């Protein structure tokens, strides 16, 4: 593959990372808003449903992020193997350490926020 082909693939992988964060972010924000409107006082089945929707969305979002990040790392590996990368190619290669944020930190943040929302959904306010 040429550098141009690899950078095009990189752009697609980056777009997939961005898009995979939208649904979980929207749902987390919505649950926070619904909590302020009294979701924590709703029927237990409604609260379990909300927790399940968040969990499913978070798992799917994390899987999509991790897959896109792994593809991005493979693209970077291929770019490293090409002679004399352009400035853009070198910039993509330099971003390799930041891919681990997508692979590890973002899903970890989701887990922390998810557990905080579970506490707000199921434990009585202090």
Q: What is the count of structural domains for the chain?
A: 1
Q: CB within 8 A of 110, min separation 6: which ones?
A: 24, 28, 58, 61, 62
- How much is the pLDDT for 126? 62
| pTM of the full structure | 0.82
> Closest by alpha carbon to 94, among 64, 68, 72?
72
CA distance 104 to 85: 28
- How much is the pLDDT for 80? 93
Q: Compute the Cα dihedral for 41, 46, 51, 57 and give only its sign.
A: negative
Whether 57 and 113 have beta carbons less than 8 Å apart is answered as no
Q: Which domain holds residue 57?
A: 3-122
pLDDT in tens, the chain (126 residues): 899 999 999 999 999 888 888 888 898 999 999 999 999 999 999 999 999 999 998 898 889 889 999 999 999 999 999 987 799 999 999 999 999 999 999 989 999 999 999 999 999 876
């Amino acid at each position: 593959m040429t550098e141009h082909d690899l950078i095009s693939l990189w752009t697609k992988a980056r777009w997939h990372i961005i898009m995979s964060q939208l649904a979980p972010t929207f749902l987390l924000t919505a649950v926070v808003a619904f909590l302020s409107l009294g979701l924590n006082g709703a029927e237990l089945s409604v609260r379990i449903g909300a927790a399940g929707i968040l969990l499913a969305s978070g798992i799917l979002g994390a899987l999509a992020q991790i897959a896109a990040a792994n593809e991005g790392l493979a693209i970077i590996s291929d770019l490293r193997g090409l002679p004399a990368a352009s400035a853009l190619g070198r910039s993509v290669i330099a971003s390799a350490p930041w891919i681990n944020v997508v692979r590890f930190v973002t899903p970890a943040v989701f887990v922390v926020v998810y557990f905080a929302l579970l506490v707000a959904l199921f434990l009585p306010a202090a």
